[in-house]
């Protein structure tokens, strides 16, 4: 399960999407998330699918690798689908006992499931096509204007990037601990959901110890390299807006305009 997690991973390959300025990709990602909540019809989702398809093909990231990231949240999508299916009132199309499925519930359930799927696929492209160092520089650059009001831009950018970077590492560590516990007779698969949750409790102590140990090693490594934060820090790669960034922004503006028009109409 955890090995399928793609959030926080970087897929190194040469592509136009990888070469985009990280600030452009971050802004596009946030507006993309906002655009999903503007959609009111299934037809508009075809525009989102077309936009994501173009982005994935251009990024040269295998579609199987992107879809693999949906496996860990499949249970969340399923639960969201069932809740909306059974809890939305409206015209009843199927009824058995206390279970009632309405036409509005079926529509809302499909709507939310598609939204969550496209949301995960769209946001995962940001980390898949941007290395942690470049992502840190992009976040810091976007937060620079807030320095005037005392916001520690570099520190926030560093913390956010380290958190994203260590998601796959912690998941891999969890996988190793689970295998070690299974070899000692632990059972994480049998029983209901409550019992499975209780069986996961013994994983927390070694996982937290491992996380604190990694954090301490990272802090020592940064101190050994004389890391002193963002003040007077130089960069090997300076962020600059190129022609490809304007092209990407123009394509995204067309996509966003299409979504807005579909909502109005």
pLDDT tens digits, 44-88? 899 999 999 999 999 999 888 888 878 778 888 888 888 888 888
φ, ψ of residue 175 in degrees (nearest 5): -60, -40
Residue 195 lies in a domain: no
Residue 219 lies in a domain: no
Confidence label for 193 from pLDDT (cuts 50, 70 and 90) = low
| Between 3 and 224, the higher pLDDT residue | 224
pLDDT of residue 247: 94
CB 102 within 8 A of CB 91: yes
Confidence label for 1 from pLDDT (cuts 50, 70 and 90) = very low
Number of domains in the chain: 1
pLDDT of residue 8: 61
- Beta partners for residue 99, in sequence order: 96
Residue 4 has pLDDT above 80, yes or no: no
Residue 35 lies in a domain: yes
pLDDT of residue 255: 94
Residue 144 lies in a domain: no
pLDDT of residue 6: 59
Residue 61 lies in a domain: yes
Q: Per mean pLDDT, which of 1-10, 26-35, 92-101, 138-147 is the most reliable?
A: 26-35
Q: Which residues contact 128 (CB under 8 A, 6 or more apart)?
A: 6, 9, 10, 11, 59, 61, 65, 66
- Its pTM stands at 0.77
Mean pLDDT of 132-157: 82
CB 65 within 8 A of CB 101: no
Residue 147 lies in a domain: no
Residue 105 lies in a domain: yes
Mean pLDDT of 216-238: 77
Report the range of poorest mean pLDDT among 89-103, 156-170, 184-198, 200-214.
184-198
Mean pLDDT of 26-36: 94
φ, ψ of residue 233 in degrees (nearest 5): -85, 130
Q: 3-state class of 14 per DSSP?
A: coil
Residue 256 lies in a domain: yes
CB 20 within 8 A of CB 248: yes
For residues 57 and 34, give the distance between their C-alpha atoms in angstroms, rounded to a whole number: 23
Confidence label for 140 from pLDDT (cuts 50, 70 and 90) = confident
Chain centroid to CA 265: how far?
A: 30
Residue 248 has pLDDT above 80, yes or no: yes
φ, ψ of residue 225 in degrees (nearest 5): -95, 15
Q: Which domain holds residue 69?
A: 2-130+238-264
């Amino acid at each position: 399960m955890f090995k399928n997690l793609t959030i926080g991973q970087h897929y190194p390959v040469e592509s136009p999407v990888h070469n985009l300025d990280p600030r452009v990709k971050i802004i596009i990602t946030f507006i993309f998330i906002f655009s999903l909540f503007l959609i009111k019809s299934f037809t508009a989702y075809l525009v989102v699918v077309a936009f994501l398809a173009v982005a994935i093909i251009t990024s040269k990231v295998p579609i199987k690798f992107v879809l693999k990231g949906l496996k860990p949240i499949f249970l969340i999508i399923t639960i969201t689908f069932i809740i909306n299916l059974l809890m939305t009132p409206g015209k009843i199309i199927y009824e058995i006992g206390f279970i009632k499925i309405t036409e509005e519930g079926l529509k809302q359930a499909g709507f939310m499931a598609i939204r969550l799927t496209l949301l995960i696929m769209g946001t995962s492209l940001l980390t898949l096509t941007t290395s942690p160092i470049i992502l840190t520089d992009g976040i810091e650059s976007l937060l620079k204007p807030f320095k005037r009001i005392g916001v520690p831009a570099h520190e926030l950018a560093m913390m956010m990037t380290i958190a994203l970077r260590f998601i796959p590492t912690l998941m891999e560590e969890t996988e190793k601990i689970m295998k070690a516990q299974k070899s000692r007779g632990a059972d994480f698969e049998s029983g209901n959901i409550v019992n499975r949750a209780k069986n996961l409790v013994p994983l927390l102590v070694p996982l937290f110890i491992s996380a604190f140990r990694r954090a301490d090693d990272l802090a020592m490594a940064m101190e050994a390299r004389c890391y002193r934060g963002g003040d007077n820090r130089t960069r090997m790669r300076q962020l600059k807006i190129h022609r490809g960034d304007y092209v990407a922004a123009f394509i995204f503006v067309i996509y966003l305009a299409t979504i807005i028009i579909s909502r109005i109409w």
